[in-house]
Amino acid sequence: MSATPEISVVIPVFNEELNLPLLFSRLYPVLDGLGRPYEVIFTNDGSMDRSLELLKAQHSARPGVTRIIDFNGNYGQHMAIMAAFERVRGQVIVTLDADLQNPPEEIPKLLALIDAGHDYVGGFRINRKDSLFRTMASRMINVVRSRTTAIEMTDQGCMLRAYRRPIIEAIVQSGAVNTFIPALAYSYSSKPTEVGVRHEERHAGVSNYSLYMLIRLNFDLITGFSLAPLQLFTMVSLACAAGSFLLVVVLALRRFVFVGPEEGGTFTLFGILFFLISVTMVGIGLIGEYVGRTYQVVRVRHRYFVREIIEAGD
Ligand code: UDP
Ligand code: MG
């Protein structure tokens, strides 16, 4: 039906059966209204509900513009997007969440900025509709990120973004494993911009991110783009080492020159010792984060496994 698509919309789907019908009914009219050839690529990221069935039905309804990548298991939102990036045909790529937190009606806004010559358009959520905790945690990580990496982003959690093809090609070539796609894209862009987009409550279901996963994701964001945590750790350790050395000198002088043997103070020493041990342990954990990532890249395993691709044959 369609010519080579100009716009590729990429949507990761994990247990979204309650959201997909509304997503379809809102997304396709917006895209049809653009009057430009497009494709929508859904990656089913190992959903356990009826998501795949609904996606297949949508493919039957709109075969020319709908493609489905079906993973054999759950590999996470970013890998789902990555798999679609490897297969996009459009010159402009838009990413979107399936839960309608990013209103599809905002897509034309992003495209207008791409048409105006930008190669990266990041959305930031106006009136963010998330729990206070999520919003606060997000603010905090924003501060850490802007201090430790060169990435400038108002709202790293917003997935409604548009990219020009060369950026997506660069991301695919980088073969990143643990990656935060908007940040990686930003680092490859030459004329980035941002635009405010509406934000809605998740239409149905609950967020797939637990606190633990959010922490992991933010570790990816920071360790994936900067060595600052390791460098900071070195500085802190150096300061501790200098402090401990001074302490040893003071204690030695007390023992041999001024006061003589003492009984008290054992617990102070324990306190200091525990502090130093904890610094060391944090350091080991931090090194582990980097080593783990290095290991994942080095062992060159499949980042994900595609069970089936459902698309119209040419
Ligand atoms: N998602 C995914 N795999 C996962 C978790 C999430 O493909 O393991 C998708 C999910 O279906 C949605 C998007 O990623 O389209 C964002 O997920 P979610 O709404 O749970 O995250 P939040 O909005 O809470 O950050
Ligand atoms: Mg969501």
Domain ranges of the chain: 7-205+301-310, 228-298
Pick 228 or 64 by higher pLDDT: 64
Measured between alpha carbons, how far is 173 from 106 in angstroms, rounded to an integer? 29
Which of 208, 209, 211, 218 to mutate for ligand 1's pocket (most ligand atoms within 8 Å of CB)?
Answer: 208
**What is the pLDDT, as a whole number, of residue 2?**
53
98 Cα nearest atom in ligand 1: 15
The separation between CA 243 and the C-alpha centre of its own chain, rounded to angstroms, equals 38
To which residue do tokens 């679609």 refer? Answer: 84
CA distances from 73 to 25, 29, 87, 303 (A): 27, 31, 19, 11
**What is the pLDDT, as a whole number, of residue 239?**
87
Structure tokens at 233: 């750790």
| Mean pLDDT value across residues 165-171 | 96
Measured between alpha carbons, how far is 237 from 279 in angstroms, rounded to an integer? 7
pLDDT at 1 over 60: no
pLDDT digits (tens, 9 = 90+) for 29-71: 999 999 999 999 999 999 999 999 999 999 999 999 999 999 9
CA torsion 123-127-132-136 (nearest 10°) is 40
Q: Residue whose CA is closest, atom 19 of ligand 1?
A: 207
Q: Is 20 helix (H, G, I), strand (E, B) or coil?
A: helix
Architecture of domain 7-205+301-310: Alpha-Beta Complex (3.90)
C-beta 77 within 6 A of ligand 1? yes
**Residues 126/165, Cβ–Cβ less than 8 Å:** no
Ligand nearest to the CA of 202: 2
265 phi-psi bin (left φ>0, alpha ψ -120 to 50, beta other): left
Measured between alpha carbons, how far is 40 from 11 in angstroms, rounded to an integer? 8
CA of 241 to the centre of ligand 1 (A): 44
CA torsion 84-196-147-281 (nearest 10°) is -50
pLDDT at 277 over 80: yes
**Residues 79/303, Cβ–Cβ less than 8 Å:** yes
C-beta 155 within 6 A of ligand 1? no
- The alpha-carbon radius of gyration of the chain (Å, integer) is 25
Measured between alpha carbons, how far is 199 from 101 in angstroms, rounded to an integer? 5
C-beta 121 within 6 A of ligand 1? no
Structure tokens at 91: 């010159």
| Mean pLDDT value across residues 239-253 | 85
- The rounded percent of the chain whose pLDDT value lies above 70 is 99
CA-nearest of 176, 212, 184 to 303 is 176
Q: Residue whose CA is closest, atom 21 of ligand 1?
A: 207
CA of 209 to the centre of ligand 1 (A): 7
The separation between CA 11 and the C-alpha centre of its own chain, rounded to angstroms, equals 14
**What is the pLDDT, as a whole number, of residue 140?**
82
CB neighbour list of residue 305: distance below 8 Å, 6 or more residues apart: 71, 72, 73
Neighbours of 60 (CB within 10 A): 10
- Overall pTM > 0.85: no
CA of 131 to the centre of ligand 2 (A): 12
CA of 99 to the centre of ligand 1 (A): 8
